Structure 1
Amino acid sequence: MSIKKKLGMGMATAALGLSLIGGGTYAYFSDTAEATGSFTNGTLDLGINKTTIVDISNLKPGDYMFRDFQLSNDGSLDMKQVLLNSSYEVIDANKDNGTEDFGDHIMVEYLYKVEGKENVVFRKTLSELKNNPIEVLKNVPAGKKQIKFTVQFKFLDNGEDQNKFQGDSLKLKWNFEAKQKDGEAR
């Protein structure tokens, strides 16, 4: 055998030996395990049984009216609080109200019933409520149905001339906003 063949054979043998040694270092046992998870969000769903709480015409100073409605927690999450956001628009029929706001003359006495007793939540004029959210409920559990409310509206008779409000109308909008309870470790 020539020296070239011996060298070539030696190199081939060395390469084969190295590949067997290298291949052997990659041989091992293995196993796998899989874990999954899921996240499902709850729902916050405030229900109300009426879209129009009050619709009165031919109102005069001293008139008052009671109206009922119900709120409910129709979602799967507990509510931390329910806020009332109140706004309104006055349509001045005779354009003679000047700087006076008809909302200053409509008093809201907001009552709600708890176990057969009426508790006053607040007593304010519509102008005091405007753009001033107020809490009407707190800690409402998921699935709580029929939280009954009674509200009294009164056109205040201030004993003065209120002729400037004749023919005026006020379009009231109440927006109830539910807030979720704070997050917690789970």
Structure 2
Amino acid sequence: MSIKKNLGLGLASAALGLALVGGGTFAYFSDTEVTENTFAAGTLDLAVNPTTIIDVNNLKPGDWMPRTFNLENNGSLDISQVLLTTDYTISGTDEDFGKHIKVNFLRNEDKSGVLLPTNVIVSKTLYELKSMSPDAVKNLSHSIFAEKSGLKAGTKDKLAVQFEFVDNGEDQNNLQGASVELKWTFDAKQTKGERR
């Protein structure tokens, strides 16, 4: 190879090296921050205390049974509604014994008005309640002295209920030895989402 070619290749190599070195030594300021974020879901935890509201035997037409129980919000989220659904099974008779057991009232003591109690259920048979889903924690009185509807986290509502074996004034001998196994399901609903 000639000196001119060697010198040309050397100059080309030097120019390429300078270009690479110049491009690789670009200086700038830098700063990095890292954030650590958490999303934790709350809990809905409704409890009924006691879990057996009523357990009676040897009933006769005309008997009535008052009971009280608590709905407790043991979760971390507020509850907007507690919907009550009724189901039952009968035994010992071919007749629907649920038509003879009446809930005279179901009252939320914490949501009732001062002058007049406001009942979640007013005079309905178990048979009629099967087609309803009343809200057990709704303030129906609209009284300024009663708690607002819903059940805040960490609180409880006291409920009073009265059952009656209705004496219809007719022959009810076909109900002797009959029984009703009542299942009340309390379904808690969360409050609406909000800006956090």
Show the counterpart of 1:121: 120
Question: Could you give the per-residue CA deviations for residues 61-120 of structure 1, whole angstroms, max 9, x where no partner exists?
Answer: 1111111111222222211111111110011x25xx3xx421111100213324787432
Q: Which runs of 4+ in 1 moved over 6 A?
A: none
More strand by share: 1
Q: 5 Å matches for 1:105-120? A: 105-108=100-103, 109-114=105-110, 118-120=117-119
- The CA distance in 1 between the partners of 2:58 and 2:151, in whole Å, is 38
What runs of 5+ residues in structure 2 fail to find an aligned partner?
138-148
Deviation at 1:131, TM superposition (A): 4.9
- Report sequence identity in percent: 46
- The CA distance in 2 between the partners of 1:184 and 1:104, in whole Å, is 43
Show the counterpart of 2:143: none
Deviation at 1:53, TM superposition (A): 0.9
- The CA distance in 2 between the partners of 1:38 and 1:153, in whole Å, is 49
Show the counterpart of 1:64: 64
Normalised to the residue count of structure 2, the TM-score between the two structures is: 0.82
Two-structure CA RMSD over aligned residues (Å)? 2.0
Q: Structure 1 residues 112, 10: closer, same or farther in 2, change over 3 A?
A: closer
1:13 aligns with 2:14: yes
Count of residue pairs brought into register by the alignment = 179
What runs of 5+ residues in structure 1 fail to find an aligned partner?
none
Show the counterpart of 2:39: 39
Show the counterpart of 1:79: 79
Normalised to the residue count of structure 1, the TM-score between the two structures is: 0.86
Show the counterpart of 1:141: 152
